[in-house]
Each structure stands twice: as C-alpha cells, then as structure tokens.
C-alpha cells in the first residue's frame, strides 16, 4: 500500500500468513465458493469450553484441534483459504491472457510476460549473478561520503506506509511516502520515514534476551552466507560490520508503539533544515540522487531517527556503508536470483524467523508478484469475472446500515459535547466508501515488462512506482483513490482521505453470504465493516477532521474522556500474555483494538435494526444474538507457528487472534446472550467494560 491506511490486518500477514479461520471454508475453497451451511460453522465449535472463560476456544476449538498448518505456512485460517481462492482465480486469469495472444505492450501481455518471467527458473539460473553486476560495480565505485549520499538518494523508494506498517523497516536508509499532507490534505505531500533494517523491528536488534541474541547470531551467519553466495571476499568480517551498523541504526529508531502517535509525526522540515537538524549526511547530494532537489519541504515522521542515522553516515567507515548497500541489494532481489540465494533467504526469513518449514510453490509467488506489480490490471479482470453488480449493491446496503448505526451511537453519547458530535457526524457524511473495485484504474503504460527478464522487471517496477509517486507531489488529492486491489482479501481505512476500501475478494462467504441469516452476516462482514468505519475515530483517526487534516476538533473535556477510555483499553490488552516472556503491547495495538470494540458494537446495532422488530431465526439451538457473536469470534480463529506468532506480537499493530475474539467482553449484549457470570474468566464488571463510541 502506498498511502496512509489502517487495514483489518497488516498486509505482510495477509500476503504470507493470513489471520483468521473458519475450517469449513478451508474445505470449500473452490472456484465458486458456496458454504454447505449458510450460517455459523457449528462443527468448528468446542461446546465443552465455557463461553465466559474462553470464547475463542468455544467458537473455534474443534477446528483448532483437527487442523494442521500446511508446511508452506506460518499461520492458517479463513483468510488463508480466501487468499488461496483469489490466487487460483488470478492464476486462471493470467493463463487466459497468455493464451489470448495479445500484442506485446498491451496490458494483458504484460500480465502474462511478468508471470512467465518469474516462473522461468531456467533463465534465472542461466544468468546467474549477471543482473546484479552493474549495480554492485556502481556501489564498489563509490569514492567518498558525497558519492555515498548520492547513492543513498538513488536508492530511495516509495515503499513505506507508517499507519499500516507496510515495509515500515525499508531496506533503504529512509523511505518516501507520498500521501495527503497532514496540514494540507488537499494536496499530496512528501513524508520521510526511518529505515535501514532487514530484521522486522528495532527490538530484534536491541532486545536483551537469550532468544533474541541467538536470533541475531543466526542473522549474522545468514548475512555472511548471502555475501559468500554473491562471491564477496571475507564475508564473515563484512557481515559482522553490517550487523553492527544495523544495530546502531536500530538504536536510533522510534518504537512501533511510539510511532502510532500522529502528533509526534507531524514535523515539517524545509529542505534547508536537514543539514542543521540531521548533520552528517550530505543532504543536497542525497536529494539530488533521489530526484527531490526541487521539493521544498517534507514531513519527517521520526526526527530522532533522521538525526541519528545521518550521524552514522558521518561516523561509520565508507567501506562498511558500501558493504551495507551491497548486502541490502542482494537481499532485496534474492527471490529473482539463482536458487541458492533465494533458498538461503527463505532459510532465514522463512524457516528461522517465521518458523515456516517449506517455501510456497513458485506459481503462488508468481501470482503474488503480478498482484503486487500489476495489481490493477489483474483487478479489472477479477472484478469483471467475480464481482457482479448485485453483490456490490448488497454490500453497499450493509455499509449504509452500519454507518447509520454509528450515527445513532454518536448522537446518543452522553459525555460528548454537541460541537464535537457535529464534527464526528461530518466525518461520516464525507466518508467515501469504495466497494469491490476502484472507480479509476492505474495506468501501467510506462512500465516496461520483458518475458525473459524478471530481475529487470522488478527493477523497472520499483522505479516506475517511485516516479509515479514523485509525479503526484503537490498535485490535488484524489480521495477516491484505492490502495488495495479487488483480488486482495482485506479491508482498509484511509484517514487522510477519509475513505474506506472493501475489495471484492473479502465480500464473499464466509464473511458475506446472501443466503445466511442477518445475524451471521453482521457478525462476520458487518464487524469488518464496523471495524474499518471505527478507524475513523480510533486513537489515530480521531486526530483527523472531516477533510483529512490533522486538527483537534475535540473539546478539552471530550478529549480527556476519550483518552481515559482508550488508556483503559490499552491497559486491558497489556494483561494478555500469549507467551510467558512476551505480553501484548496495549499501546502498540490500541488503534486496532478501538476499532474492534467500536466496530462490533456498531455491527450489533445494525444487525438489531435489520430485524425491524422481528425475532431472528435460530440455528441448531443458537439464538440470533448468539450467532452474531459466534460469527464474530469465528472471524478470528487461527493456528500459528510459535515463531510467526512471536513476530506478530512484536511487529504488528493488531493483537493476536484470540484476543481479538475476546473483544466481546466489552459488549453488554454478549453477557446476556451467553448468560455470562461474574466469576467467569472473561467477565468484566459493567464499569470495567470499555465503551468508547
């Protein structure tokens, strides 16, 4: 994603692991998925578990017991199944375009050529390291720190998204993000973010535990092995210096929890300010290399990191920086280089870091590549084939119903001043909701794809995307621009655009089933819709007004009440410990937890309104309210390998799945539906339940 966003779950999770599960879907991932039972997956439940003690186990326990994680996955669940379905459909569309014989240069031809270049391992092996050589020679030719600054600038890419944690730890020294400005949301601004690390987060470098020390040792061995495979001399010594430099960079970084504070991120630096505020890097040369010499100002998200990393440019020997540049280049392109490099990268980042025994098949990675580099071209075909107008109309109606429920909740708040309510209502009035697919598609005509050059295709795609973003700087904002493709199984809130995206791929069973009862649809996709709407008012979204500007639209007393409630929620999540030595970080996950609490509350209101006074039909003895909450909890059932689960806790702004299901303990209706008693483990006294919206 290339814009400010708050998604249902992080994109790296979506692409590699996926977060949620209903086991029946795993067995029904056919080309036209139709659930055998149009309702909750009763077979997945463990009715021996007390709902008041472990609602997650109650809703998903039997599925958890009988399900095995595939060897090419770190996690499995319903999003896995839907992602697999989307991949199969996309692969079919790619195959059709390849058979269609489209002339070279046409979009369909590009799709086929990009995919074929990725799966053509014979050509990749035959070329060896040749594609890397000119770039490694350019690094080797750097003679001084001025030329280093230019090279670092040339490596800048638009590959970060702070609010959605996308490529947040960019392998480049810094990352560029082009998005609506914090203070001028009508025009695209240049954001600069900290970078320079290969491991997922600063804690992997600085945490003082036996586990992390062992992991850092294995990482250094991996760096040495990659350099050895790339025929570097003295790889062990080079690797030691690279890891030492990355450790120093990590010490300058802002933590993920602190990164969530928008107000700390709103730092406008004029280009002339960089030399004084972050001395050590030749900034004029850096911006010249990046093609940004004419950009007058930037929003610097983490000023301390810029000061610290710039100082490291001055204090660290030039040869160490050249080794750092070479290693990061090799790592970034290992997947499209000879098998030995690709396998070594997976051996560390897949097996050791994430605990995944086997790499995904090449064809699946090829589909991911096409989706990432030509996503809208595939999206056009996907939307035409798999998202009919009637499905869009049904989803539109549900979104409208939940927005109406949210309006009523805001109006009913006894603690909120009328002036604050008016601004909150204005945000809902101007909220853009995209359903299924975007109104305009991206133009890839300037992106050159060659059927026998996957390294070049990756390199040109990176530059194409970067230049596309540079061209937007200062231009008027398109508030209807999407940051997801129709074939993506996810959903997103874009606070600077005051917009939501619900791709076609998530608007299908089990999340949305036209034949399922309202209770199940509202508990499943309704809670997802409510979650994304709620991001408009979470700990970050509340900082933006109806036009997407960072502006305090709260009265002091309202803001104090809001902050007290959110602090209470953060403290609740601080008590969760998925591992004895690794608790959930309530501050890090706060925005997502707010969205879960408010989202399920609004979805429940929408469900009750949809009944129009009638009694919901029962399913196997479960009342409508019970079905609603079970459907919500079944959204979040999942199985994870320990390494993947630990990585999520450390690096993800979303809480682990079992604690997202536990959101129900803050909802009064859940207590009545399941006759929860005060002594139950999840039970909270009414005054201890968090109520925000």
Which CATH number covers residue 179? 1.10.1380.10
Centre a 10 Å sphere on the Cβ of residue 620 and count the other Cβ atoms it contains: 10
Same domain, 29 and 155: no
Same domain, 248 and 149: yes
For the chain, percent of residues with pLDDT exceeding 90: 77
Same domain, 329 and 375: no
- Residue 10 is predicted with a pLDDT of 52
Q: If you average pLDDT over residues 347-371, what whole number do you get?
A: 94
Residue 344 lies in a domain: no
The angle that helices 527-534 and 624-635 make with each other, rounded to 10 degrees, is 70
Backbone angles phi, psi at 179, to 5 degrees: -155, 170
Same domain, 310 and 206: yes
Structure tokens belonging to residue 458: 């990756």
Residue 619 lies in a domain: yes
Domain that holds residue 220: 129-336
Residue 499 lies in a domain: yes
- Residue 626 is predicted with a pLDDT of 98
Same domain, 80 and 139: no
Structure tokens belonging to residue 342: 């690709």
- Angstrom distance (rounded) from CA 26 to CA 81: 5
Q: If you average pLDDT over residues 436-440, what whole number do you get?
A: 95
The residues with which 501 forms a beta bridge, in sequence order, are 434, 492
Final residue belonging to a domain, choices 285, 320, 336: 336
Same domain, 149 and 48: no
- Angstrom distance (rounded) from CA 461 to CA 562: 43
pLDDT band at residue 393 under the 50/70/90 scheme: confident
Final residue belonging to a domain, choices 313, 336, 359: 336
Q: Quick check: 198 and 239 in contact, CB under 8 A? A: no
Structure tokens belonging to residue 253: 């970084």
Same domain, 65 and 166: no
Residue 462 lies in a domain: no
Residue 308 lies in a domain: yes
pLDDT band at residue 692 under the 50/70/90 scheme: confident
Residue 54 lies in a domain: yes
Interval 660-680: pLDDT, tens: 999 999 999 999 999 999 999
**CATH number of residue 412's parent domain:** 3.40.390.10
Interval 236-295: pLDDT, tens: 999 999 999 999 999 999 998 888 888 899 999 999 999 999 999 999 999 999 999 999
Interval 177-233: pLDDT, tens: 999 999 999 999 999 999 999 999 999 999 999 999 999 999 999 999 999 999 999
- Residue 588 is predicted with a pLDDT of 92
Give 576: exposed, middle or buried? Use CB within 10 Å, 0-12, 13-18, 19+: middle
- Residue 52 is predicted with a pLDDT of 98
| 432-436: strand order across its sheet | 6-7, 492-494, 499-503, 432-436
- Residue 388 is predicted with a pLDDT of 86
Interval 503-560: pLDDT, tens: 999 998 888 888 899 999 999 999 999 999 998 888 788 889 888 888 899 999 999 9
Final residue belonging to a domain, choices 309, 336, 363: 336
- Angstrom distance (rounded) from CA 541 to CA 262: 9
Same domain, 375 and 332: no
Summary mean pLDDT of the chain: 90
Polymer length of the chain = 693
Same domain, 309 and 383: no
Q: Quick check: 305 and 197 in contact, CB under 8 A? A: no
- Angstrom distance (rounded) from CA 337 to CA 125: 7
- Angstrom distance (rounded) from CA 356 to CA 75: 9
Residue 358 lies in a domain: no
Residue 267 lies in a domain: yes
Better pLDDT: 520 or 162: 520
Same domain, 41 and 141: no
Global pTM reads 0.87
pLDDT band at residue 12 under the 50/70/90 scheme: very low
Stretch (H or E) spanning 432 = strand 432-436
- Residue 59 is predicted with a pLDDT of 97
Q: Quick check: 243 and 228 in contact, CB under 8 A? A: no
Q: If you average pLDDT over residues 596-604, what whole number do you get?
A: 95
Q: If you average pLDDT over residues 337-364, what whole number do you get?
A: 95
pLDDT band at residue 607 under the 50/70/90 scheme: very high
Same domain, 321 and 377: no
pLDDT band at residue 32 under the 50/70/90 scheme: very low
- Residue 9 is predicted with a pLDDT of 54
Structurally, the chain folds into a number of domains equal to 2
Same domain, 501 and 585: yes
- Residue 94 is predicted with a pLDDT of 86
């Amino acid at each position: 994603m290339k814009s400010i966003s708050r998604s249902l779950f992080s994109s790296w999770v979506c692409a590699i692991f996926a977060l949620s599960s209903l086991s029946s879907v795993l067995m029904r991932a056919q080309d036209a998925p139709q659930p055998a039972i149009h309702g909750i997956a009763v077979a997945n439940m463990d009715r021996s578990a007390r709902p008041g003690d472990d609602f997650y186990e109650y809703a998903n326990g039997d599925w958890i017991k009988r399900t095995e994680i595939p060897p090419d996955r770190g996690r499995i669940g319903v999003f896995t199944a839907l992602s697999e379905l989307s991949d199969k459909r996309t692969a079919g569309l790619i195959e059709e375009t390849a058979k269609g014989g489209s002339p070279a240069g046409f979009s369909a031809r590009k799709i086929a050529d990009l995919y074929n270049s990725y799966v053509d391992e014979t050509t990749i092996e035959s070329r060896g390291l040749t594609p890397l050589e000119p770039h490694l020679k350019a690094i080797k030719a750097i003679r001084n720190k001025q030329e280093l600054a230019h090279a670092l600038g040339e490596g800048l890419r638009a590959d970060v998204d702070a609010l959605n944690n996308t490529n947040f730890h960019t392998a480049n020294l810094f990352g560029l993000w082009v998005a609506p400005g914090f203070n001028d949301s009508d025009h695209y601004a240049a954001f600069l973010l900290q970078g320079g690390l290969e491991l997922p987060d600063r804690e992997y470098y600085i945490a003082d535990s036996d586990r992390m020390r062992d992991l850092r040792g294995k990482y250094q061995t991996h760096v040495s092995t990659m350099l050895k495979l790339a025929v570097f001399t003295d790889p062990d010594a080079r690797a030691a210096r690279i890891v030492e430099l990355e450790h120093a960079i990590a010490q300058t970084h802002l933590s993920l929890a602190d990164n969530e504070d928008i107000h700390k991120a709103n730092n406008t630096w004029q280009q002339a300010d960089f030399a004084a505020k972050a001395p050590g890097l030749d900034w004029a040369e850096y911006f010249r290399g990046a093609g940004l010499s004419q950009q007058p100002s930037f929003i610097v998200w983490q000023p301390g990191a810029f000061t610290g990393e710039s100082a490291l440019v001055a204090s660290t020997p030039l040869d160490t920086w050249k080794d750092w540049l070479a290693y990061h280049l090799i790592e970034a392109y290992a997947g499209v280089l000879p098998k030995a490099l690709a396998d070594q990268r997976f051996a560390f980042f897949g097996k050791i870091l994430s605990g995944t025994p086997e790499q995904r098949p090449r064809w699946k990675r090829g589909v991911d590549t096409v989706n990432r580099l030509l996503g809208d071209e595939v999206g056009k075909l996907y939307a035409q084939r798999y998202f009919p107008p009637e499905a869009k109309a049904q989803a539109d109606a549900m979104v409208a119903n939940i927005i109406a429920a949210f309006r009523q909740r805001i109006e009913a708040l006894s603690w909120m001043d009328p002036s604050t309510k008016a601004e909150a209502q204005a945000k809902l009035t101007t909220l853009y909701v995209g359903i299924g697919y975007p109104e305009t598609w991206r133009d890839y005509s300037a992106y050159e794809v060659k059927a026998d050059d996957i390294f070049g295709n990756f390199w040109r795609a990176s530059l194409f995307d970067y230049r596309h973003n540079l061209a937007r700087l200062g231009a008027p904002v398109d508030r209807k621009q999407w940051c997801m493709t129709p074939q993506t199984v996810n959903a997103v809130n874009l606070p600077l655009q005051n917009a939501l995206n619900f791709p076609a791929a998530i608007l299908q069973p089990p999340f949305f089933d036209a034949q399922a009862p309202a209770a199940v649809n509202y508990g499943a996709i309704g809670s997802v819709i409510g979650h994304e709407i709620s991001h408009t008012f979470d700990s970050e979204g509340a900082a933006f007004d109806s036009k997407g500007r960072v502006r305090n639209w709260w009265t002091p007393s309202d803001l104090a009440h809001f902050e007290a409630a959110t602090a209470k929620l953060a403290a609740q999540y601080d008590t969760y410990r998925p591992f004895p030595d690794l608790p959930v970080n309530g501050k890090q996950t706060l925005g997502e937890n707010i969205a879960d609490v408010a989202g399920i509350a609004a979805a429940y209101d929408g469900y009750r309104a949809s009944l129009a006074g009638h009694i919901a039909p029962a399913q196997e003895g479960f009342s409508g309210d019970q079905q609603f909450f079970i459907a919500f909890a079944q959204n979040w059932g999942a199985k994870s390998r320990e390494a993947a689960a630990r990585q999520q806790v450390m690096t993800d702004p979303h809480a682990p799945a079992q604690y997202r299901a536990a959101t129900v303990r803050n909802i009064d209706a859940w207590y009545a539906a399941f006759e929860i008693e005060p002594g139950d483990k999840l039970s909270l006294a009414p005054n201890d339940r968090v109520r925000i919206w």
